[in-house]
Amino acid sequence: MTARPDDARILSSGDGGALERTGRMLLVSKHLLLFTLATLVATVAVFGIGLWFDRFPMSWFCFECGIIGGFVSIQQRLKRVSDEELTYLSQSWTAILVVPVFGGVFALVLYILFLAGIVEGSLFPKITIPPFTTGAPPTITDLRRFFTETYPASGPDFAKLTFWCFVAGFSERFVPQIIQRVSDRGEQDAGLDRQPGGRPRRVPLPAADTPGPGRTMPPTRPENPEQSG
């Protein structure tokens, strides 16, 4: 998507390279502000509808926090991007949306990690999940309660969830690094190792006739029955 006529006037407001770069930064900041305001309006509308039906959409809230973190991240990096990248951002609305959308997705992934208990500690939120029916497979009612009655355990936990979802969108490497560490731990638990090329390699298990720690070799059966006497 190309720049509109009023945006083009911003780009041509100066003759020098520094003024032109400043104009492009102002244009990108303008787009970021418009996107942020539009996202906030949509979020308020969704929250209003949800609260009207006595339901707080936690997933949407986490996604929104990640999007806002992505917008802030782009704004913070504008002064450090190259002229080519700045030109591309100023001429394409899609390029500006990529980072915030990925930030929202990363925030949802982090929320799932909190729900699963994979990421936990004093700095991270505790989530209260309604119990499923015991002694029977999960039902539609259990899943409905899971999606509608899963909330942070307390006010401080809600604040922690808000902060970390924002960080997931603000820092592009935060959630991917967590995913990589969890993946490495899972490969170790599954008996997998990494080859030099990065492909998973199964760690060889001890052979059945190889004694290991706490194991002894089974007695060898004589080939000739007469030798056993």
Looking at residue 77, what is its pLDDT?
80
| CB neighbour class for 142 (10 Å; exposed up to 12, middle 13-18, buried from 19) | middle
Q: What is the mean pLDDT of each run of 10 residues along the chain (229 residues)?
A: 49 57 81 83 80 82 90 82 78 80 94 92 92 82 88 94 94 91 85 58 44 44 47
Rounded distance between C-alpha atoms, residue 157 and residue 151, angstroms: 9
Looking at residue 225, what is its pLDDT?
47
The total of other beta-carbon atoms located within 10 Å of residue 83's CB is 11
| CB neighbour class for 16 (10 Å; exposed up to 12, middle 13-18, buried from 19) | exposed
**Model pLDDT for residues 136-191, shown as the tens digit of each residue:** 788 888 888 888 889 999 999 999 999 999 999 999 899 999 999 998 888 887 76
Rounded distance between C-alpha atoms, residue 213 and residue 160, angstroms: 45
Write the CA distances from 168 to 78, 128, 133, integer angstroms: 19, 21, 33
**Greatest pairwise CA separation for the chain in angstroms:** 107
Looking at residue 199, what is its pLDDT?
57
Helix (H, G, I), strand (E, B) or coil at 125: coil
Looking at residue 22, what is its pLDDT?
80
Looking at residue 103, what is its pLDDT?
92
Structural domain boundaries of the chain? 5-201
Contacts of 151 (CB under 8 A, 6+ apart): 56, 58, 127, 128, 158
Looking at residue 90, what is its pLDDT?
77
pTM for the predicted model, two decimal places: 0.69
